Amino acid sequence: MSADEREQLAEGTLISHLVELRDRLLRAVICIGIVFIPCAIYSNQLFTLVATPLIQKMPAGTSMIATSLVSPFLAPLKLGLFVALFISMPYVLYQAWAFVAPGLYKHEKRFAVPLVVSSIVLFYAGVAFAYFVVFPLMFAFFTTSAPAGVQMMTDMQNYLDFVLLLFFAFGIAFEIPVATVLLASTGMVSVDTMGKNRGYVLLGIFVVAAFLTPPDAISQTMMAGPMYLLYEIGILLSRFLLKKRAESKPSDDET
């Protein structure tokens, strides 16, 4: 094969990959758009659902407010877009997986599939933990800590930005077992090193939680506690997977 033929083949392969990437991205965007339609229609109900943990803890006779003329329309619509992305995430990640899967070896696919699935489940679990566990405790503390003569009136746009940040923070925090397994499986950090440095990790987790959560001990502890527990779970999973990999090597060598 001549140099020109090899160049044409490489160019054709690159173009085909770009076309496939475009198609995958287009499918993901279409899926988000389709899911966004009912989310936009019921955006006010979705906002009420997200605001329920705060509304239930607010003093009697108070309510949320809108300090901008367009906030009552744009804030629920923004939430609807994020909910559509949240619901569509498995399909979006499937499109990403379908694009990269042909270039992976068989053993890499066996390792990647449960990793992708577990990362999705853990992210959803982090969001659910924030909504059902953290928000009621945190808002109960905030609504009762106002000084005398100060009436709590929360702007709906500020509240939405606040809860979306916490949703994302807890979702990412719950990915710690996946990150731990990846670090151990790739050899970047050994499992023994992870175990020996528990104290530094715990300190780092509390520092991260202090930056991602409001400045109160309750919300900080509510994030740092599960993060450290998930770190220990990640260590256990890493030991188990590395042990399984070591046991499978002799059979692989024999074949």
Rounded to whole angstroms, the Cα distance separating 197 from 201 reads 6
What pTM did the predictor assign? 0.82
Looking at residue 255, its pLDDT comes to 44
Instruction: Residue 240: name the closest of 172, 185, 173, 160 by CA.
Output: 185
pLDDT value, residue 189: 82
| 158/155 Cα distance (integer angstroms) | 5
User: pLDDT per residue over 35-52, tens digit each?
Assistant: 999 999 999 999 999 999
pLDDT for 213 equals 75
Tens digit of each residue's pLDDT (9 = 90 or more) over 118-175: 888 999 999 999 999 889 888 888 888 777 777 778 899 999 999 998 899 889 888 8
Please, is 128 exposed, middle or buried when counting C-beta atoms within 10 Å of its C-beta (0-12, 13-18, 19+)? middle
Output the pLDDT for position 44.
95
Q: Are 222 and 170 spatial neighbours (Cβ–Cβ below 8 Å)?
A: no
Residue 155's SS3 state is: strand
Q: What pLDDT does 1 receive? A: 56
pLDDT of residue 132: 93
Q: Which residues, given as ranges, of the chain have pLDDT below 70?
A: 1-14, 104, 107-108, 215-216, 248-255
